[in-house]
Structure 1
Amino acid sequence: MHRNLADTARAALTDAYAPGAGEHGAVPAHRLEGATTTVVADTCVRGDLGFALLLHRRKDGVVAEELFFARREGAEGWGSAEHLSGSAGAPDLTGPEEAAAVLRGWSMTSLGESETLLPTGRPQADEGYELMRFHVLLVDESISHLHIEATSAGVPPASGHVRKPLTSQIALIALFPEENVTVRTRAEAGTGARSLGELFELAGSGAAPGACDT
């Protein structure tokens, strides 16, 4: 099963991020509808590492989520995707009412987090490996994108803001160790975007939530 899901994850990264692209992209929005058994909830890229969060319906009807990663190989695109983690009991988002029941009036809520030791290849990595943390968020259907602001010490203000488009109501955010970010929900309003005033402070492994140098 994981082999078929891995192929789906690699294809999602290929569709969303061409070689040389930045750390945000978009794939078509998906829901688990009708006979559909596997969908791409979201993708995320950090450096040369790409991550894809998949939802699939098991034979017993339970919805499970599976996290995969692949490494960017320059002009060759993405390498084979590998399975990182999985869990059962994800929200059955076959319609807006299921997500609304989980959100309970909020524009965003956490669906959980996990950590995995990965070969990042960064200079600060211990023998090439770092403990990455993954946050999974559920957002209201009215939200068009997330505004992510880096609050870690030493991050230049000009490079500390990311506009993350949403491909579904589930968003995946991957953080390196010691990273801190503030995530706000945004909804399009005419020619601009309005903030809904809610925010989450998320931290990577070894970092205290909300820690910053300002």
Structure 2
Amino acid sequence: MPENLAQLAHAALTAATTPGTETPQAPPIRPAGRGGATVADTCVRDDLGFALLLHRRGDGRMAEELYFSTRRDDGSWTPADHLSGGVLGIDPTSESEVAAVLRGRLLLPFGESETELFTGRPEAPEGYETLCFQELLVSPEVDRIDVESTATTGVTLPGRIRGPLASPVTLFVLFPGERLIVRPTAREGHRPIPQGEGEAVHELTCWQRTI
């Protein structure tokens, strides 16, 4: 991957976090892109940081690249490493293409993958765990996303609000056994979203795997 994409991912994580801050997910940002690349979203889990970038390839097609970094003891981030990527079926920066896919829906699964990474958590065998990466395509009507984290054991963790959204593509990174309930909040002036509306509530799950 081009070095400037790795630099952009590192800059995004640096701008999205404050040294010593422990939040499940960092607020998404969108710094000025380099070479046509933009930051779709960032996500921080413990001392692992992830940045999802969008860029246009030489053939004109849109692609995404996922980078990750590790937070040092002083709060700074190590140089970003490329984790995965691929060509997209639509251009997420095109409102018309996004609308054509959503067809009136507020949220829609946009992609998912999983990768084994060293997390260092006590519950991780030898420090490694299989993390799940899930993306949602979000309607322009949505201003913020309410995320409720619930473990498969039934223990509910405090939810938090993510927003404002940086792009129509939102990234979630889940540890094994984690479940997220995602509810959108509409922008002022758009149609209200009834509490519990079926199309507006999504569940994201990372199944616990046993060896």
TM-score, with structure 1 as normaliser: 0.85
Post-superposition shift, 1:91? 2.4
Post-superposition shift, 1:28? 3.2
1:152–1:180 CA contact under 8 A, matched in 2 = yes
2:184 aligned residue: 185
1:173 aligns with 2:172: yes
1:148–1:163 CA contact under 8 A, matched in 2 = yes
1:27 aligned residue: 29
Following the alignment from structure 1 to structure 2, what is the Cα–Cα distance between the partners of residues 155 and 2?
43
1:88 aligned residue: 87
State the secondary structure of the residue aligned to 1:151: strand
Q: Which runs of 4+ in 1 moved over 6 A?
A: none
State the secondary structure of the residue aligned to 1:74: coil
1:17 aligned residue: 17
- Aligned in 2, Cα 1:90/1:43: closer, same or farther, shift over 3 Å? farther
1:51 aligned residue: 50
2:48–2:69 CA contact under 8 A, matched in 1 = yes
2:18–2:75 CA contact under 8 A, matched in 1 = no
Across the aligned residues of Structure 1 and Structure 2, the Cα RMSD in angstroms comes to 2.3
Post-superposition shift, 1:4? 2.1
- Aligned in 2, Cα 1:130/1:2: closer, same or farther, shift over 3 Å? farther
1:20-169 paired onto structure 2 within 5 Å? 20-21=20-21, 22=23, 23-28=25-30, 37-154=36-153, 157=156, 159-165=157-163, 166-169=165-168
Q: How many residues align?
A: 201
1:131–1:205 CA contact under 8 A, matched in 2 = no
Letter in structure 2 aligned against 1:160: P
Post-superposition shift, 1:155? 6.3
2:133–2:173 CA contact under 8 A, matched in 1 = yes
Post-superposition shift, 1:77? 1.0
Percent of aligned pairs sharing the same letter: 43
Q: Deviations over 1:130-156 (max 9, x none)?
A: 000000111001211111112214565
1:4 aligns with 2:9: no
1:2–1:83 CA contact under 8 A, matched in 2 = no
- Aligned in 2, Cα 1:18/1:128: closer, same or farther, shift over 3 Å? same
Letter in structure 1 aligned against 2:81: E
2:30–2:41 CA contact under 8 A, matched in 1 = no
Following the alignment from structure 1 to structure 2, what is the Cα–Cα distance between the partners of residues 156 and 189?
33
Q: Deviations over 1:5-34 (max 9, x none)?
A: 11110100001112122232231378x9xx
TM-score, with structure 2 as normaliser: 0.86
